[in-house]
Structure 1
Amino acid sequence: MAPFLAYEDKGPEEPPASLAPTAPATPSVPLTPLVLIHGHPFDRTMWAPQLDAFSAARRVVAPDLRGYGASPVVPGVTPLARFAQDIEDLLDELKVETFVLAGLSMGGQIAMECCRRFPDRIRGLVLADTFPAPETAEGRAARNAMADRLLREGMGGYADEALERMVAPYADAAVKAHVHRMMTATPAEGAAAALRGRAERPDYRGLLTRLPVPALVVVGADDTFTPVADAEAMHAALPDSALHVIEGAAHLPNLERPQAFNEALGRFLTRVDGIS
């Protein structure tokens, strides 16, 4: 059966020679795969700097969520549980049994849902510029109103308005162009379905307190969608976590400051590889 989602699947099946054990009798062990879940309203190209940086040494899988990028659009309502099931199905198809799971913004909430649904497969969790609380009544109304607007007007106006909150006003022009391009290329029906589903998301705060694996919490210092205080609260709730605040970035530090983001992620992956 062909996977439902479009995706990138990069990296060696065996560890690079420089990382392989020197003793011939010792079997080489591949590094822990990394699975990357993009945010709204983006696509898998959001993770281009991380795909380039980490696929030389490990397998990296980055899907387009349903309704985004090259994946099929299913109008209506897409709950976070549906996104998580799609990811599980894709990883089953690709035979990725265990992995480090990283998600940004809505992708972080989907990653938390994955922790609820199939925790035994997750060796480490990266939560970037996200938060675990359920939606308020006001927030549900706002998300549904935005869904109505996107279906009525398309993505262009929203992309213009939100761009300099997604990335900082001082961000590199090429980064701004990439983010704007992802936003305007997203089908309005897919974005609206995700907004309606996200409005009904569960409360993940209790789940985080019981997470049995290490976690990394990352946030842009100038993020106004999910501010540093949200990241600090997740860090405090998680039993085993590191917090990394990236200066000079807003909601997409992996694109705005890829070197700093990759350094923090690389340290975390090295730790997970050592305990897997």
Structure 2
Amino acid sequence: MTAGPLAVRRRGVGEPLVLLHPLALSGELWTPLAEALSDEFQVFALDLRGHGDSAWDGKPFTISDLADDVGRTLDALDLPSASLLGLSMGGSVAVDFAGRFPERVRSLVLADTTAWYGDDAATAWAERARKAVTVPRANQLRFQVDRWFSPEFAETHPEDVDRVAKIFLRTNSEAHAAASIAMGAMDSRPLLPAITAPTLVMVGQLDYATPPSMARTLADGIAGAELEILPGLRHMSLIERPALADLVRQHLRRVTETR
């Protein structure tokens, strides 16, 4: 379905939970997690601008623009507020949204993500953007899979890796590049003190895309945030280890029980 500017996959009943996906993927990534949580929560998996089935006008955009898309989508769904869970780029969008619209976020889960990629971010992400449009998508997969998953998981769960790879291959390369530029320009650190939602920060111990040091910056900057460092995992912690759905559930449940 389409709600406001974005395509949305919806399932379950209960308190609303919005899932925000990583760069160059889509809300389809979240199917296993959405299924696991839909017995207790109404889950909305969004396709961010230019990704999946969501439209894009071809113009540059920022992470704040993506967060504004989320707000307009919540409006279209008649949701004054919701819990947000974001992974990687989706987590960066969630940070921006929660920092600028704290009253709209009931609880927050930030997985393998960051508010800022460092002093060389613009240059590094410009190169990522260039490769997104000049290197055939299939040839980009080796780089991506190594960042996403531990070698052991990639070897023993080829069907799961293939599922994510197929989503990546279907992603619009120009939108991938535009989102990369947006990531390079992002610095949401000043927004962290404005976040009031109970927050769980999760990161794979072996995540070299958004390492534990970046997760600690988030947890230190958000009042009362909890930090979980997950042994043996790289960047796609919630995909590689489905049992982490229980950790997410416990966090969301605590917030629901206090409402």
The letter for the 1-side match of 2:134 is: R
Name the structure 2 match of 1:195. Answer: 180
Percent of aligned pairs with the same residue?
A: 30
**Is residue 216 from structure 1 mapped to residue 217 from structure 2 by the alignment?**
no
> What is the CA distance between 1:134 and its match in structure 2?
5.4
Aligned equivalents of 1:174, 1:128: Cα separation in 2: 23
Cα contact 2:99–2:194 (8 A) shared by 1: no
- Number of aligned positions between the proteins: 255
Name the structure 2 match of 1:238. Answer: 222
* CA deviation profile, 1:214-250 (whole Å, cap 9, x unmatched): 1000111221111122222322222112222223321
**Is residue 40 from structure 1 mapped to residue 23 from structure 2 by the alignment?**
yes
Cα contact 1:37–1:102 (8 A) shared by 2: yes
Q: Choose from 112, 129, 142 the match for 2:112.
A: 129
Q: Choose from 124, 136, 149 the match for 2:131.
A: 149
The letter for the 2-side match of 1:193 is: A
Secondary structure of the corresponding residue to residue 22 of structure 2 = coil
* CA deviation profile, 1:72-99 (whole Å, cap 9, x unmatched): 2332422111111111111111111211
List gaps (5 residues or longer) in structure 1: 13-30
List gaps (5 residues or longer) in structure 2: none
**CA RMSD after TM alignment:** 1.7
Aligned equivalents of 1:77, 1:85: Cα separation in 2: 14
The more displaced of 36-45 and 243-252 is 243-252
* CA deviation profile, 1:169-209 (whole Å, cap 9, x unmatched): 1112122112211221111011011111222113x223223
Name the structure 1 match of 2:122. Answer: 140
Aligned equivalents of 2:115, 2:56: Cα separation in 1: 26
Name the structure 2 match of 1:113. Answer: 96
Q: Quick check: which has more Rg, 1 or 2? A: 1
Aligned equivalents of 1:140, 1:119: Cα separation in 2: 28
Secondary structure of the corresponding residue to residue 45 of structure 2 = strand
Q: Do the aligned partners of residues 226 and 34 (structure 1) sit closer, same or farther apart at CA in structure 2, a change above 3 Å counting?
A: same
Q: Tell me the TM-score normalized by structure 2.
A: 0.92
Secondary structure of the corresponding residue to residue 193 of structure 1 = helix
**Is residue 168 from structure 1 mapped to residue 150 from structure 2 by the alignment?**
yes
Cα contact 2:202–2:230 (8 A) shared by 1: yes
Q: Tell me the TM-score normalized by structure 1.
A: 0.86
> What is the CA distance between 1:109 and its match in structure 2?
0.8
> What is the CA distance between 1:167 and its match in structure 2?
1.2
Aligned equivalents of 1:244, 1:263: Cα separation in 2: 13
